[in-house]
Amino acid sequence: MTTAPPLATADAALAHGFSLLAEAPALAAAQAEALLEALPGHPPARLLLGMARLAQQQPQAALAVLQPLAAEQPAAPQVHMALADAWAAMHYWEEAVAAGEHALALQPALPGGWLRLGNWCDHLGRRAQAEVAFLRHVQEAVADPALLAAGRALAENDLAQAEQRLRARLRQWPQDVAALRMLAELGLRLGRNEQAIALLEECLRLAPGFAEARRQYALALDRGNRQAEALAQVDALLAQAPRDPALRNQRAVLLGKLGDYAGAIALYEGLLAEHPRDPRLWTSLGHALKTEGESGRAVAAYRHAIRLDPGFGVAWWSLANLKTERLTAEDIAQMRHQRQRADLDQDAQLHLDFALGKALEDAGEHAASFAHYAAGNAARRRQLPYDAALNHRRVRHACAVYTREFFAARAGWGCPARGPIFVVGLPRAGSTLIEQILASHPQVEATMELPELIAIVRELRARAGDPERTSYHDLVAGLSAAEARALGERYLARTAVHRRLGRPLFIDKMPNNFAHLGLLRLILPQAIVIDARRHPLDCGFSNFKQHFARGQAFSYDLADIGRYYADYVALMAHFDAVLPGWVHRVVHERLVADTETEVRALLAHCGLPFDPRCLRPHETRRAVRTASAEQVRRPISSAAIGRWRHYGPWLGPLEQALGPVLAHYPDPPPGLAGSA
């Protein structure tokens, strides 16, 4: 007769057996059988044996052990969950759900239980029941060791470790909505926006009521330039939480991006009625008012933000960035005082540097002004890496790919619509003035700097696996005729939300689109392209003293600006040679000196009859989002021409990087086309 082991020894043997389940289920089964020989009918040993048989992929044998055990142990949650797992392994979903519900009624915090129950309900098509289970899993996930480890890695920005853990989890449980959301968050951090959208769509298919996933989905859609869809998601969330301030703020931001500034202003005003001491809200209101042309109210909003937080650099820079608002000696003294604060973070410091640079420039203190511009740019440059050599290689590769032969072989490709007018070039080159001139014509609608073409570029780059360092031009060369047409149609469909006036032509004033003219010509061959060009020292220094919200990483170093300008000139010269007459160039200094001649030529290139309103663009009322918003609401002027001369002693790196491009302006140096 076998002697029963002491209780402590049996407990130790059981613990060892359970520890073997994942890696050595056969040994776990042997341990259970040894215990049962010594302790016949011992419930924990039978549970171990049933779970071991299941881990050995022997669900029938597991059921033979677990069914009678569950009948004997109606109040044992682990037993009933193991039984549910055995039923599920045999695809007996009804039985699995019944056993799982019984287990979770006994112990709601059973690890992984709600996730498995949701999975089984999904197999049965019980969508509402599955969603309840998945959402309960999200609540209980804070105690899940695997998800906790992945969450710690995310919090510590160890993205490789987080991704490894989350992908392992999803291989085991593809419907783990908590893991799907976390992996989507990781994707957003890494710039994998389309991947994040796909993960969140699956997450919300499984659990439509997962509010945090829907918030993240709205963010991903916004980043993917799908603002109308993002707004629908925010509105769905607001239907459940109508007073949520973060959602209302997000809605205001989206309305602004969609051109509904009146709606955005109303939302900001409502939020400020509840949160009157939030300087960020006052600054956001100021941005919307500035865009709508209400500069007086914008100034008041910015100044109120400053009164609430005198060190709030964003508000100071926003005030200075109005261009037409001159900061006072008192303002300068206050900014200098705030700039010296030891507790001021770097973001506030650099915004104050840009604001002081502008204020001191207006005061004629150019040496001190340049010192602050240089400090602000240096700080921003450290935050925002930029590789001038990589950009140069991309331009050279574009010249190599987009040849006469390339376009001849693809004649007739793309979407034949003629609607868009692309105004391209460097920022601060006069593109907003050109946009305002064209928008003064009754057949043309101004929209804004539309990011859709760049979104297409990002998606093409992502196909190559390295979105930041891969030239996508080879992928463009590999597109089929059907794909090229589909991309053109997609551009028009995605930008349609910004067209409100029903006019035949509309303007896309994203300056950086000059880098994507090859793609543009392929997918929209009838599009009109205008190149805005300004003297390289005026344009270059104007970029240097402008703190952009996003997207202009080249602009925070004088040498980088010079190389970028030279690459731009080379690429435009290449397209002039390959597609003569396709791009119409507007030289800013000529436009200012002989406005009517230049405007007539511009309209003729667009196939538009002359309209005298185009000579008075400052009279055209519309929202303008760019840094030149206030300037284009005034008559055309030469006041900004030659301002670089005040800073000539410090612009050596810019001049050197420009090389022969500076000497030959406004034309490219001889032989430059195709030799970038």
pLDDT of residue 467: 57
Whether the CB-CB separation of 69 and 36 falls below 8 Å is answered with no
pLDDT in tens, 130-172: 889 988 988 888 778 889 999 999 989 899 999 999 999 999 8
Tell me how far apart the alpha carbons of residues 20 and 45 are, in angstroms, rounded to a whole number. 13
Tell me how far apart the alpha carbons of residues 20 and 16 are, in angstroms, rounded to a whole number. 7
If you write DSSP's letter for every residue of 630-676 in order, what string do you get?
A: TGGGS---STTTTGGGGGGGG-HHHHHHHTHHHHHTTSPPTT-TT--
Tell me how far apart the alpha carbons of residues 294 and 620 are, in angstroms, rounded to a whole number. 14
Mean pLDDT over 110-133 rounds to 89
Tell me how far apart the alpha carbons of residues 20 and 29 are, in angstroms, rounded to a whole number. 9
User: For residue 114, which of 123, 105, 104 has the smallest C-alpha distance?
Assistant: 104
Tell me how far apart the alpha carbons of residues 50 and 84 are, in angstroms, rounded to a whole number. 12
Tell me how far apart the alpha carbons of residues 235 and 248 are, in angstroms, rounded to a whole number. 9
Least confident of 235-239, 449-453, 548-552: 548-552
Q: How confident is the model at residue 448 (pLDDT cuts 50, 70, 90)?
A: confident
pLDDT of residue 259: 85
Q: Is the dihedral of CA 335, 340, 344, 345 positive or negative?
A: positive
- pLDDT higher than threshold 90 for residue 340: yes
Q: Is the dihedral of CA 659, 661, 665, 669 positive or negative?
A: positive
Q: How confident is the model at residue 381 (pLDDT cuts 50, 70, 90)?
A: very high
pLDDT of residue 522: 97
Q: Which residues contact 337 (CB under 8 A, 6 or more apart)?
A: none
Q: How confident is the model at residue 627 (pLDDT cuts 50, 70, 90)?
A: very low
Q: Which residues contact 338 (CB under 8 A, 6 or more apart)?
A: 310, 311, 313, 316, 344, 348, 352
Tell me how far apart the alpha carbons of residues 377 and 554 are, in angstroms, rounded to a whole number. 11
pLDDT of residue 193: 87
User: In the chain, what is the straight-line distance between the N-terminal and C-terminal CA atoms, in Å?
Assistant: 92
pLDDT of residue 460: 87
pLDDT of residue 458: 83
Mean pLDDT taken over the chain: 91
Tokens of 49: 């044996």
If you write DSSP's letter for every residue of 367-381 in order, what string do you get?
A: HHHHHHHHHHHHHHH
Neighbours of 533 (CB within 10 A): 26
Task: Verify cis geometry, omega within 30 degrees of 0, for the bond prior to 174.
Answer: no
pLDDT of residue 674: 46
Whether the CB-CB separation of 447 and 507 falls below 8 Å is answered with yes
pLDDT of residue 117: 92
Mean pLDDT over 239-265 rounds to 93
Neighbours of 625 (CB within 10 A): 20
pLDDT of residue 675: 47
The packing angle between helices 313-320 and 295-308, to 10°, is 160
Mean pLDDT over 497-510 rounds to 91
Domains (ranges, CATH) in the chain?
Answer: 7-143 (1.25.40.10), 156-383 (1.25.40.10), 417-461+481-664 (3.40.50.300)
pLDDT in tens, 76-113: 999 999 999 999 999 999 999 999 999 999 999 887 89
pLDDT of residue 676: 44
Whether the CB-CB separation of 267 and 285 falls below 8 Å is answered with no
Mean pLDDT over 314-327 rounds to 90
Least confident of 167-171, 189-193, 314-318, 574-578: 189-193
Tell me how far apart the alpha carbons of residues 67 and 652 are, in angstroms, rounded to a whole number. 84
Mean pLDDT over 467-491 rounds to 88
Q: Hunting for tokens 């980043």 — which residue is that? A: 223
Mean pLDDT over 361-389 rounds to 95
Q: Hunting for tokens 């997609």 — which residue is that? A: 490
Whether the CB-CB separation of 552 and 427 falls below 8 Å is answered with yes
pLDDT of residue 326: 87
CA dihedral 108, 111, 113, 116 (to 10 degrees): 160
pLDDT in tens, 261-289: 999 999 999 999 999 999 999 999 999 99
- pLDDT higher than threshold 70 for residue 626: no
Mean pLDDT over 362-368 rounds to 96
User: For residue 513, which of 642, 617, 424 has the smallest C-alpha distance?
Assistant: 424
The set of long-range contacts for 296-303, using a CB threshold of 8 Å and a minimum separation of 24, is 298/322, 299/325
- pLDDT higher than threshold 70 for residue 516: yes
pLDDT-above-70 percentage for the chain: 95
Q: How confident is the model at residue 673 (pLDDT cuts 50, 70, 90)?
A: low
Q: Residue 568: in which H helix or E strand, if any? A: helix 558-578
